[in-house]
Amino acid sequence: MRIGLLGPADGDSALVRKAAEFALGKLSAEQVIYLGADDAARDAVRGWASELLKAPFGEAAFMDRAFQLARTGTPEQLQDLLARDAEARKLSALRCLPAPPTRAVEMFEDKVVLFVHDKAQLDAEDIANAYLVVYGRSKGVALNHFGPRTFFSPGPLKAGQLACIERHGDSGVAVVQLDLHSGEVLGRTPLSTGRSKMVVLS
């Protein structure tokens, strides 16, 4: 299992798309979570899906086109539309955070991972139940270990980095930092023990 992590992009949907393409493609992430509080990821998905569909993105537009092809198109044209729609639906793997104060929660193996834009909105109960807290609002990459819990931010996306969390060993979790442009692994942090320490690869 692998989850891609994209830091805030300050409204730059093209940058979000580039990072999402990398995470979904080269990283083979099952899902990608955008940690910003703006609409950059939604805008990226709309534009990306419209290119795949060769038409405006949306259920109504798809149904109109499908209806037209069912009446006057060829079977090949209808099959092509359905294939492009299937590709566009894969973009649902790019997820946005819910609006505050709601948090996104994911079970990674048997561990609770909490995703939030601003960690300041969390309360003691949120933190007590989390194994890993991933947040977006940060001036740079940040990783801090407090007892059995880890707080991590991939930093702003414009800094040219993204991250992912992935399985480490039989039951552990690792946080991996990557260069967005080269794909180089910049660091890997196993979280399977009580003493996590960033390992920077040279």
Q: How far is Cα of residue 23 from the mean position of the Cα atoms in its chain?
A: 8
Given this model, what pLDDT does residue 134 score?
97
- Over the Cα atoms of the chain, what is R_g? 19
Given this model, what pLDDT does residue 197 score?
44
H-type alpha helices, 54-152? 59-72, 75-89, 124-128
H-type alpha helices, the chain? 13-25, 40-53, 59-72, 75-89, 124-128
Burial 47-65 (b: 16+ CB within 10 A, else e): ebbeebbebebeeeebeeb
Q: Which fold has domain 2-36+95-200?
A: Purple Acid Phosphatase; chain A, domain 2 (3.60.21)
Q: How many Cβ atoms are within 10 Å of 163's Cβ, its own excluded? A: 25
Given this model, what pLDDT does residue 49 score?
84
Return per-residue pLDDT of the chain as tens, 202 residues. Answer: 899 999 999 999 999 999 999 999 999 999 999 999 999 999 999 888 888 777 666 677 668 777 788 888 888 887 877 777 777 677 889 999 998 778 899 988 788 999 999 999 998 888 888 999 999 999 999 999 888 899 999 999 999 999 999 998 877 899 999 999 999 999 999 985 444 444 443 3
Domain extents in the chain: 2-36+95-200, 48-92
Given this model, what pLDDT does residue 178 score?
97
What does pTM read for this prediction? 0.82
Given this model, what pLDDT does residue 150 score?
94
